[in-house]
Amino acid sequence: MEKEIAKAEGKLGVLIVGVGGAVATTLMTGVLSARRGIAKPIGSVSQMGRMKMQDNVERNIKDIVPLSRLEDIVFGGWDIFPENAYDAAIYAEVLQSKDIDPVKEELQAIRPMAAAFDHNWAKRLNGTNIKQTATRWEMVEQLRQDIRNFKEANQCSRIVVLWAASTEIYIPESEVHASLSALEAAMKANDTQHISPSMCYAYAAVAEGAPFVMGAPNLCVDIPAMWEFSKKMNVPIAGKDFKSGQTLMKTVLAPMFKTRLLGVSGWFSTNILGNRDGEVLDDPDNFKTKEVSKLSVIENIFEPEKYPDLYGNVYHKVRINYYPPRKDNKEAWDNIDIFGWMDYPMQIKVNFLCRDSILAAPIALDLVLFSDLAARAGLCGIQTWLSFFCKSPMHDHEHQPEHDLFAQWRILKQQLRRMVGEESPSYLD
């Protein structure tokens, strides 16, 4: 049966945590340019993707499901730095002035609200546009008020909150995160060791009925307390960690090795990155969070317990090196040692000179628009069908995440078909 999806009427407020960062300013500049017709939303599944339906006709995804229009998006958000989005975009040096200046006035009008921030969770960052709060609970209350104020001031019908800020330090899941009551008690007790700023943003968003998207590998909405809260409030949550560069390549290459039954003995990955994210990840505690996210991909795809002869002893190492001259133009280098017939060794080298924010911006847009669609379709909790966009797809404790990019793409299309009342014949996929 076709679900009743509420129409995408009115304005959609997109509140970005890290609104002055490289990803956010690249996203906003691209969307503002696209709706003026001076750029194309290249890389965006929601805007340029197509799929075949049961009548054997291929259509644009945005014509199949009722997505919000780019013209109806209103951007805002929080940042520890007070510069407006235009000045921040110039500083980020991802886009050239010729691409930023046509939407200069619109970007200048986007000024960040004071951020909920704790220096202990991102020690390499020092900003001045920071909320003064006595407890984590007060942090949540101020963020909730920000959401309400923005929604009213901009006459938005709906809000989506997107985390596009830096990676926080690594923490394991604990009892504090096991239930909603435990999480709320910890926030009120100002447990700054277990309650991160990102958890405060997520809680505030869900409390206000706004879908929350986690674009970093932080322990945040991927905890039982947040699953419980999102279901209680009937709000979708999605994430985590934008799958933009090196890991995107892994989710393509690893399924190829497995499908062809080629063995892998080692996979060494290194990155050099010079933007603010690279600086944050230069701290070992923050890198640990990213490392866990990156390392999980290969083992999940290879299933070494099923194929011990091929993948039972893969040596997998990941490194990220802060290198300021490269700025946002990340270089990802992989050395893969494989073996084939008669155990003969071979090697594959991948050198991906990518632009981090150029790849992440359309992912962020798609996660926002599909999360808004999910909310209007009455979906809540973890949106596993959005794993296609995520490096470390969210899942509960009873399920394994899907990392294979092509399997993720099939799952995404199946969900979209279900939303409009179609089943998914295998021949379409």
Gap between the Cα atoms of 203 and 155, Å rounded: 22
At 267, is the pLDDT very low, low, confident or very high (cuts 50, 70, 90)? Answer: very high
Strands 331-339 and 11-17: unpaired
CATH fourth-level superfamily of 246-353? Dihydrodipicolinate Reductase; domain 2 (3.30.360.10)
Q: For the residues 45-53, what does the mean pLDDT come to?
A: 96
Instruction: Check whether 83 has a pLDDT greater than 50.
Output: yes
Q: For the residues 15-38, what does the mean pLDDT come to?
A: 97
Reading phi first (left if > 0) and then psi (alpha if -120 to 50, else beta), residue 241 is in left
Percent of the chain scored above 70 by pLDDT? Answer: 96
pLDDT value at residue 1: 38
Could you tell me if 394 and 218 are in contact, meaning their C-beta atoms sit under 8 angstroms apart?
Answer: no
DSSP state at residue 5: P
Fold observed for domain 11-242+357-428:
Rossmann fold (3.40.50)
Mean pLDDT of the chain: 93
At 424, is the pLDDT very low, low, confident or very high (cuts 50, 70, 90)? Answer: low
At 416, is the pLDDT very low, low, confident or very high (cuts 50, 70, 90)? Answer: very high
Percent of the chain scored above 90 by pLDDT? Answer: 82
Gap between the Cα atoms of 254 and 299, Å rounded: 9
pLDDT tens string 249-262: 999 999 999 999 99
Instruction: Check whether 284 has a pLDDT greater than 80.
Output: no
Residues in the chain: 429
Sole residue written with tokens 């958000």 = 77
Domain residue extents for the chain = 11-242+357-428, 246-353
Q: What is the DSSP string of 262-296?
A: -EEEEEEEEEEE-SHHHHHHTSHHHHHHHHHHHHH
Instruction: Check whether 160 has a pLDDT greater than 90.
Output: yes
pLDDT value at residue 276: 73
Instruction: Check whether 283 has a pLDDT greater than 90.
Output: no
| Cα–Cα nearest to 90, from 22, 39, 10 | 22
Cβ burial, residue 260 (10 Å; 0-12/13-18/19+): exposed
Sole residue written with tokens 């009892």 = 175
pLDDT value at residue 423: 77
pLDDT value at residue 427: 52
